Amino acid sequence: MDTSATNSNRRRGEPWALGTVLGYASANIFDRVAVVRADPLMGPVLRGLPSLMLGIFLMWKHHTLSQLRPGSPNYIGSRCIMAFVLAGVISTLGLFFYYFAMSFGGVTITVPVQETYVIWGTLIAWFFLGERISHYALAGVILIFLGLVGLSFGQSQGAPISGHWHWAIPFALATALTYGISGVLWRDGQLRGAHQSVAIFLQFLTSVVTGMAGILLAARLPGIHLATWGALAAYLASGVLSGIIAIYCMFTALRLMAVARVYAFSSLTPLVATLVAHFFLHEFLNGLMLVGILLVSAGVILTQVFRPTDERQA
């Protein structure tokens, strides 16, 4: 093995991995800015649009539309398609919960709690796909739990952004659960032969449609004109940062670095997001909350990095 070439790729990959963290963390900041000035129900639609455009572009680039045509030899089948449709519906429900969590508890509470999706994804994959759970992952679950306890207790001693901040915890946990389920469905669809471009297109087409249905069912469509242009732009910026920039950075980092190192970088997203929210949005953050966030990040590292080798290579 050429050690110098490996080290060179690693150095080239680290800025891309950091770009993933900054992309997702910045998206969280824009989401918080948006929910203050616009209806949270608008978030899933506007955030999903850039990813849907990306999926359409990737399908055109890779010529994968044939995977969706029943008469084609490349057709992936209704079972596979349904996996991504369900992932889109479920993850969009999670986004509704996420935006309400943001409005109640801000970035400092929502993002670390939301990161517990790695727990649910691991447990669901173990139950439905038969994937193994390592001892490191179990230790990671314990650290995440301790971190959430410290985060909650620290916030109760401080100055939350609203008197209903505690509602952000169950909403963010609901988001984490839906992300865990949709992640397993996504993996199941890819194992059945779907190209990544088809997966992105199906999930986010479903996500946008589900988001619009939510707005209509809640009779919130007339309220769109009340939103400021800045809030709408913030929602779209979040979609670009998370659904295009962060994803591109992650795929590039995975091509240049070991998967475990990329996951280790990604686990820093809650820490970066909360620090940015503290310094730029003036969200409350004390020492106990910071310790809780660090424990959550450490737990995510253990849960993600020490996944089974066959799963990480899939």
Instruction: Print the domain residue range for 128.
Output: 3-312
Q: What is the largest CA-CA distance in the chain?
A: 62
pLDDT at 127: 64
CB atoms within 10 A of CB 163: 8
pTM above 0.75, yes or no: yes
Beta-carbon contacts of 168 under 8 Å, excluding residues fewer than 6 positions away, are: 101, 102, 104, 105, 106, 109, 110, 113
Alpha helices in the chain (DSSP H): 3-37, 43-62, 78-114, 117-128, 135-156, 168-191, 196-217, 229-240, 246-256, 259-266, 269-280, 287-305, 309-312
Residue 156: CB atoms within 10 Å: 12
- Residue 287 is which amino acid? G
User: What b/e string do you get for 88-118 counting C-beta neighbours within 10 Å, with b at 16 or more?
Assistant: bbbbbbbbbbbbbbbbbbbbbbbbbbbbbbb
Please name which of 304, 246, 264 lies closest in space to residue 117, comparing C-alpha atoms: 304
Neighbours of 230 (CB within 10 A): 11
Q: How far apart are CA 184 and CA 157, in angstroms?
A: 37
SS3 115: coil
* Predicted pLDDT of residue 157: 84
b/e 251-260 (16+ beta carbons within 10 angstroms → b): ebbbebbbbe
Contacts of 280 (CB under 8 A, 6+ apart): 29
The number of domains in the chain is: 1
What pLDDT tens digit does each residue of the chain (314 aa) get?
455 544 555 567 788 989 999 999 999 999 999 998 888 889 999 999 999 999 999 999 999 999 999 999 999 999 999 999 999 999 999 999 999 999 999 999 999 998 887 777 667 666 665 666 667 777 887 888 888 888 988 888 888 888 889 899 999 999 998 988 888 888 889 889 999 899 999 999 999 999 999 988 887 766 677 778 888 999 999 999 998 999 889 888 877 877 667 777 777 888 899 999 999 999 999 999 999 999 988 888 877 666 554 444 44
How far apart, in Å, are the Cα atoms of 210 and each of 41, 92, 120, 178, 213? 11, 7, 23, 14, 5
Q: Which residues contact 26 (CB under 8 A, 6 or more apart)?
A: 241, 276
pLDDT of residue 312: 45
* Residue among 21, 102, 108, 47 nearest 238 (CA): 47
User: How far apart (Å, rounded) are the C-alpha atoms in residues 73 and 69?
Assistant: 9
Q: Is 66:232 a contact under the CB 8 Å cutoff?
A: no
